[in-house]
Amino acid sequence: MPRSKDHLKERAKKVLERGEAGEIDLKGYDYGEPGEDEVKPEELPEKLLRRAEEVGIDLGSVSGGTYLQIDHNVAYTMVTDYLKKQGVLIMSTLEALERLEWVKEYYWKAMPVDTDKFTAMTELNLRHGYFIYVPAGVKIDRPIQACLMMRTKRIAQPVHNIIIVDKGADITLVTGCAAMVNEGLHIGVSEFYVKEGARVNFIMIHGWAPDFNVRPRTAVIVEREGTFTSYYVNLYPVRNLQMEPRVYLHAKARGYLTSILLGKGDSTMDVGGRLEFVGRGSRGEIISRSIITDQATVIMRGRLIGRAAEARGHLECRGLLLSPSARSKAIPELEAVTEGAELTHEAAIGRISEEELNYLMARGFTEEEATSLIVRGFLDVGLDKMPRRLQASLRSILDTVAKLSKG
């Protein structure tokens, strides 16, 4: 029974038996047990609401639907009657696996369970995560929100999110992940299935803390003429963050990944994206902007793999160093497997030059204003690809990034 749960667990165990090296000791955290909290939104503490707001989640609003998980427990799930009528499902992934037999067809199908020790650990210690299903043709204007909060010290939060957007459907998903304590491990496996002609706008905002290790593991399958647009922002310092979402683009599909990273304090971030052009005429772009200050290190990766004719891909990584001991590296990779795939890239890492500052000062900006203009202007990318109604809130998040970069 190759699809059985036991089989997946066997594969996961084998990965852990390999004893992969790495700087994160998975045993150093408390994994607890998955549970339910059944909290009412109005009962949530002010501090948690504010933290959620910082990462783009408005728990007080009547959005299309909301999933809130705190530590290992589902705090609440809300789906508006309107969405229910359309057949939209939002629930914990554990619940979905229990209730809906067909979900197994999507479980570990975009991302192999034995990808690494983090995916393996998630399979063996699954603590919820969200499941979203949007039926064919359903277009939802209001964003669906998912918030993964960590408020107990030194726990691990391994979650598995599954998002299925059926043919021709159109959604915006805003996820905010945040910490209310200083230390922890977050592993977020996400599998996206964007069916033929469907469209998914995915916004992910991270607000971790200095002693957090974070391992998102994302895979996205975009079927024919589908579109996946992601906008990722990291706001706060972490100890170590590493991710490389993989997006598989089938015929005429579109994939756009934008990431905005603020590397502060002693953070180490290794963030990339991989677009695989598997279908003829697929297009995609990866844009990343990193601001690195203090002693932080940020590695920007990007990989475009052209496996089909008439594929077009572009990759752009830029880093702005704001302190003498900040470090950054850009590693762009292009791999054209098939003739007729056109892949391009640009990468640049630099500092603010005296000349730029003096020029802007002659235009009437104080030195501080000029610096923040350069920083904020540097971040001004990718918004035109996001839905209009979300642009204002993304802009204010970018304002926050620019402010936080000052120290």
- Binding interface with other proteins (CB under 8 A): 320, 350, 353-356, 358-367, 369-370, 373-374, 376-378, 380
- Residue 319's nearest CA partner among 293, 355, 358 is 293
Residue 310 or 356 with smaller CB distance to other proteins: 356
Residue closer to other proteins (CB basis): 373 or 390: 373
Minimum Å distance from CB 380 to other proteins? Answer: 5
Full DSSP string of 307-331: -STT-EEEEEEEEEE-STT-EEEEE
Quickly tell me which residue has 């891909």 as its tokens: 313
Residues 50, 245: Cα–Cα separation, whole Å: 28
Contact 226, 256 (CB under 8 A): no
- Residue 396 in 3-state DSSP? helix
Its sign, for the CA torsion 74, 75, 80, 81, is positive
335 CB neighbour count, 10 Å cutoff:
13
39, 66 in Cβ contact below 8 A? no
Nearer to other proteins, 126 or 370 (CB): 370
CB neighbours of residue 293 within 10 Å: 21
Q: Which is nearer to other proteins, 96 or 298 (CB)?
A: 298
Q: Please report how close the Cβ of residue 397 comes to other proteins at its closest, in angstroms.
A: 16
Name the minimum Å distance from CB 356 to other proteins.
5
**By three-state DSSP, how is residue 254 classified?**
strand
DSSP 34: -
Nearer to other proteins, 141 or 380 (CB): 380
Q: Smallest distance, Å, CB 129 to other proteins?
A: 38
Residue 175 beta carbon to other proteins: minimum distance, rounded to whole angstroms: 28
H-run or E-run covering 371: helix 367-378
Q: Which is nearer to other proteins, 46 or 368 (CB)?
A: 368
Q: Could you tell me the smallest distance in angstroms from the CB atom of residue 403 to other proteins? A: 15
Contact 325, 297 (CB under 8 A): no
What three-state secondary structure class fits 61? Answer: coil
For other proteins, give the closer residue by CB, 20 or 367. Answer: 367
Measuring CA to CA, which residue among 91, 191, 84 is closest to residue 132? 91
Between residues 47 and 363, which has the closer beta carbon with respect to other proteins?
Answer: 363
We find the least distance from the C-beta atom of residue 381 to other proteins, in angstroms, to be 9
CB of 334 to other proteins, least distance (A): 22
**Other CB atoms within 10 Å distance of the CB of residue 43:** 10
Q: Provide Rg for the chain, Cα atoms.
A: 21
Q: Which CB sits closer to other proteins, 247 or 381?
A: 381
List phi, psi (to 5°) of 271: -125, 130
Angstrom distance (rounded) from CA 245 to CA 257: 9
* Rounded least distance, CB 376 to other proteins, Å: 8
Question: Structure tokens of 297?
Answer: 């290190």
Q: What is the closest distance, in whole angstroms, from the C-beta atom of residue 370 to other proteins in the complex? A: 8
> Based on CB atoms, which residue is closest to other proteins, 181 or 347?
347
Helix, strand, coil percentages (3-state) for the chain, rounded to 5, are 25, 40, 35
d(CA 170, CA 187): 27
